[in-house]
Amino acid sequence: MIILMVDDAIKSGISFGLTEAIITTLGLIFGLSAGTNSKLAVIGGILTIAIADAFSDAFGIHIFQESKNASKKEVWQASLATFFSKFIFTLSFIIPVLLFELRTAVLLNLLWGLVVMTVLSIFIALERNEPPVHVVIEHLGIMILVVILTNYAGSLISRIFG
């Protein structure tokens, strides 16, 4: 329940960072593993997202907060919360890739993403006084769609260019 007790700017940054980390990293993992079947490519992709995309997302939130005329404190709270939640959580997806065969690691990462997205969705639903089941189904549905599309894209790219 910690996320329910923090400032709105921090809550926004954490929610955005975690969601982006899950969707982007799982999309990359499924696409690269289907296209290359290379642990090295997947690890390199995760590290790239952890660095470049965390900075990009934090900068995007920074600009967004400024465009809302948020206070400097709120701008930086949201920016830093986005960066650190995206960076740290994205790195967590490397652990299964280092410890297991790629196919197993991909499935473990999917499970990890599903669990975290479910918990985040429940927190969001409770904060909005909505039935959690509806929010969870909506969010997991979008997440699974991204996984399916990127897996298909990786396979297609491999067939065309491989």
Q: Answer whether residue 2 shows pLDDT above 60.
A: no
- Are the CB atoms for 139 and 117 separated by under 8 Å? yes
The mean pLDDT of 75-90, rounded to a whole number, is 96
- Overall number of domains in the chain: 1
Q: For residue 38, what is the DSSP state?
A: -
Q: What is the pLDDT of residue 7?
A: 85
Q: What is the pLDDT of residue 1?
A: 43
Residue 162 resides in a domain:
no
* Residue 3 confidence class, pLDDT cut points 50, 70, 90: very low
Q: Please tell me the distance from the alpha carbon of residue 90 to that of residue 96, in angstroms, as a whole number.
A: 12
Residue 73 resides in a domain:
yes
Note the pLDDT tens digit of each residue in 5-50.
568 899 999 999 999 999 999 999 999 999 999 999 999 999 999 9
Tell me the residue range of the domain where 86 lies.
7-157
Residue 1 resides in a domain:
no
- Are the CB atoms for 37 and 154 separated by under 8 Å? no
Residue 2 resides in a domain:
no
Note the pLDDT tens digit of each residue in 117-155.
999 999 999 999 999 999 999 999 999 999 999 999 999
